[in-house]
Amino acid sequence: MFAGVDMSGLRMGSAGLTWDYVDRLKDATSMKVLVKGIVTADDALIALEHGVDGIIVSNHGGRAEVSGVSSIESLQEVVPAVQGRVPILVDSGFRRGTDIFKALAIGADAICIGRPYLWGLGAFGQAGVERVLDILARELEIVMAQMGAASLAEITAGSIVV
């Protein structure tokens, strides 16, 4: 998994995960590199300076980032800073179609879900995961209809009050 990447002196979760490490990772692979855990405009701009291919706005469920600011709140700061230069994904706590709608309206390009698909997988295997995705998609369709958005492109910041 880390072939070609100098992992000496690095322990996952340690202070060794620096912007220098992102540079080394970018140099070692032709794959896209997304950075997860961005919660401020300043960090988003630093990530762009280091050539990341995408940003995942996430407070890691509040376990690793202690400001108390939710990912959806952080998204409101990160989106204007990035100005569409790279895709922005958002993670942490997406459980309903309304949550997804809000994130898209704020400017996320995609939403990451963790626990819901794991719940589906644990309960019913692949069919459970498919059902979770179906439920989220249907809930998103319902809120889009309620908001008068016929397509994802029609979901805008004017759709919500922040």
Lookup: tokens for 71: 């990912």
| Alpha helix segments (H runs only) across 50-160 | 71-82, 97-106, 115-147
Query: What residues are annotated to the active site?
Result: 60
Q: Which long-range contacts (CB under 8 A, 24 or more apart) does 13-20 make?
A: 19/46, 19/50
Superfamily of domain 12-92 in the CATH hierarchy: Aldolase class I (3.20.20.70)
- Domain borders along the chain are 12-92, 114-162
pLDDT at 49 over 90: yes
Indicate the pLDDT class of residue 4, thresholds 50, 70 and 90. Answer: confident
95-121 confidence digits (pLDDT tens)? 999 999 999 999 999 999 988 989 999
Look at 43 and 59; give whichever has higher pLDDT. 43
7-37 confidence digits (pLDDT tens)? 666 555 556 678 999 999 999 999 999 999 9
